Amino acid sequence: MENGLLFFDGRMDRQVKVNGYRIELGDVEENLRSLPTVSDAVVLPVTEKGIAQSLAAFVVLSQQSVESDFEMGNRLRAQLSQRLPVYMLPRKIFFRDAFPMTPNGKTDRRKLAESVE
């Protein structure tokens, strides 16, 4: 509240609207984590001019892969397509050894978002 006025600055939950579809980012993350080769996952919207255009997934694999990132990304996307509708599939998948953490031990989603821009 500022000067007696209340400002609304977006949603507090993790739901985004991409191409007219409402997507709960946590649902996509949980489906990624349920895949056998995925240890952890974070999904973020890719925005342009403040509007979510697509999804990006950041993935920590449970074991090193001999496949290229491109091949592994395609394989994960194909596995996800058996569980999720096409509009919920991440367009980009980035692989990390670990996620950046905030001082209180949570995944630093802002730092991950900076690497997409």
Per-residue pLDDT tens digits for 28-53: 999 999 999 999 999 999 998 888 99
Res. 11: pLDDT tops 50: no
Reduced to 3 states (helix: H, G, I; strand: E, B; else coil), residue 112 is helix
Q: What is the CATH number of domain 15-114?
A: 3.30.300.30
Q: Are strands 38-48 and 51-61 parallel, antiparallel or unpaired?
A: antiparallel
Model's pTM, two decimal places? 0.84
What is the band of 117 on the pLDDT scale with cuts at 50, 70, 90?
low
**What is the spatial distance between Cα 117 and Cα 105, in angstroms, rounded to a whole number?**
24
